[in-house]
Structure 1
Amino acid sequence: MFDLVLRGAAIVESSGTVCADLCVTDGRVAALLDPETPAAAKAVRRVDGCYLLPGLVDAHVHLRDPGLTHKEDFESGTRAAAAGGVTTLLDMPTDDPWTDSVGTFVDKQRLAHGRLHVDVGLQVALRRDASDLQAIRALGPVSFEIFTADVPAAYLHDTQALLMRALELVKPLDTLACVSPGDQSILNSVAKGGIDAFLASRPPLAEATGIAKIILAAAEARTPVHVRQTNSALGIATYRRMRGLADVSIETTPQCLLFTAGDYATQGADLKASPPARAPEDRDALLAALRDGMIDMVATDHAPHTRAEKAAVYESFADIPGGMPGVQTLLATMLHFVASGDIDLPALVRMCSTNPARRFGIGNRKGSLARGHDADILVLDPRLDTHIAHADQLSRAGYTPFDGMRVPGRLTAVYLRGMLMHEHGRTAAMEPAGKVIGASKHGLA
């Protein structure tokens, strides 16, 4: 007997859509049956006319826990994720303290226990004086993060020699190295000032140079790498020409796909992040890469700050805390691109669920509704629409840069391992049911 059967929907995978009834047992997908096939079950739900999608996997999230919990914490960030259909978060290591050792990793696992509304994978920052990497790897991080600009000196790999050494250290760990592209020399050469100075300190050239260096180093080291968010025409062109040299993937974010530098006039500090919003032609090149499949995944870089922090007066635009909330709006913003015809639902699943799960070593459980995978299920009703509003946001940031956007399609239910977590805009689960999960095999194949 099945625990749950969802009847009457079309199941969306990265490969296409099929009409089937989805059966759940012990938190996993137990069977996909021909529609209306008799099946004994403890519970049967009709979801006629809806789509079932695998829960989204957001590969780039800052939950701010530990140390920065006035901005966000495990409970608030994962609650927001569940409300938006993101059932797995991959948490970045840039908290206080940074996650960079066995001790800080174990402490973060302990802090997360019993406070997660969705599943969370942890990522580790690679120090320049890295040690005990095999012991850290044994704990199950989903990646080692390497930074090439704009971070404290202990984590700064700002030369090709340092980057090569970092990738050589990661290679024997059989895991994924993620690198944020940039050029510290360009950043250092620009004096602080207004928005124009901020843009000049992080130009497309810095991003493209970073991407080229990453791919060349990955080719030489033979280490799988993932390039963190890109948003420039030059960066995408560089990646397009060079990606065949190495085992490499790339991401972007909804804000990079939707905003340009002109939006600073209305959004101001709320939109301040790195990389900065760029020219319309950069955004157009990114959209073209989204359409033709060059973008491997779309993540959010969810990095909330309080309203007071964003609204304070700073000497320069660069000093404004960088980042914005995003986990609750990932699905809705991607549905905008489905409605515009830039992508279809299978492409949404590919970039926001299947590819990140596979690339970060959790594809044996996440990113698909195939038999044996975790029953992380989104019920999407195409007959309704979604209106994104500040008032509905559950992140401690209390706002969204996408306020006012209306898109076709509405998320009506979210299941995590077969448990109903969110339904019709309200939290359904009484207690947090998420877990810290670890990586196994990495790759996009």
Structure 2
Amino acid sequence: MTEHSKDFQQEQLDQQIEQPARYLDTKARYLVEDLQQMYHTQSDDKLANEESLQRVRKLLESRLQPSHQETNILTFAEIREHHERKTMMIDNAPQSEATSSRKKDLASQRKPRWRHISRLFNTIAAVLVVAVLVGSAALLLNARRNANPSTTTGSSNVTTQPQVKVDCSHVFADGNYIPDNGEHAVCLQGKETPLQDSATINDHKLTLISAYADANRLLIKYVETGNISQRYDGGASISKLTIQDGNQTYIYDPVAGYTSHGGGSYYDQKSKQTFFLDSYSIPQDAINAKQLQITATFLAVGGATREDPVGTSFPTTFFNFTVPMQSEKRVATPNQNLVINGHRLKLTQVCVTLSATYLSVKPEEAVNTPPERTYSATVNGSKTEIYEVDNGKLTGKWDPLKGMSIAITEDWLGKPGTWNLKIQSTGEPLGIGSGELQFTVPAA
């Protein structure tokens, strides 16, 4: 060791490595040449490695946080001096020991020298990716909150008004407790047009829910706050209906008897609201329209309010909306007769839509309406409702019967083609008896 220390002078170490022949003896010169050949790199690779090392060092200095342990960073000159001293120690060691140490040293050279640094880079990259993802999620959430201020919490005064949904869980029933399964089928198939117009009348909030129209019926569904299913305590109902098909305007006055069969109402205890379903006949001249322009005028019955403590005022409000006409239907004109005690009744037309089925029956001779209903009908074995009609209006008792409308509030679009109509009479004007006939209804 002493001999080699004399050969290698610390102040001239670099020059001795670069030009060993000038300063070293033969044995030391061979050692230096072996080391030079072992660590020899091309100039381009050497330059690239130096640049990479500089980038690594800068990145580590900028990214790594100070640790609790003191870090000692060696210069490259110190690292090189350490390797040279280690090599000289190996040369002075016994042969077997030197050979073993040299093999271990050479094996360590084959391993990547920057494995730990590479792992560190991977960790840094993973942390950066996670930070970017978290930051992006925060930005998106903040943007969404800004776009929807109604969903924010805290001191914000903006609130979201609850929207009335088209609920199909309830089946409406009319005054005769006959369920309106036709409207229920319409609702379940998503054919109703949602509406959201609201108004306050006699301290009750009135909100439209939906509307529907086909060749048989116009259905309007709405809700009012409070228990007003019997139309008292300031409840409002439709007093006038204006229907426009683009070419003609029709005005219905429900109070005068233009309402159709079906519909109904019920009170929901949980929400403290009363739901209504109003049903109207579609004008025959408008059954082929593409859509209908509707104006529904609501009239409130008398009820004590803050503005009218006595309850003598009858305020009104109205809504305008558009309803598309559902075109699917089955139409037949059998023009077949059935006879009850010599009285001939003709089935003139059958119209089937999703919401209902109408059968039009006209007497072939003068028949007066009785003071009490004395006849009933079944179609395909199902009980029906019968309305005496005269150009769309209900007639007075003992007036001449111009016709009857037999109504079924069911979805019969898929019924087979062969149908059966049976009419039973229990008294005047037809007498006691029954008559029936079969007819065919084509597909939709």
Which TM-score band (shorter chain)? under 0.3
Q: Which has the higher contact order (CA 8 A, sep 6+)?
A: 1
Select the structure of larger CA radius of gyration. Answer: 2
Instruction: Name the structure with the higher helix share.
Output: 1
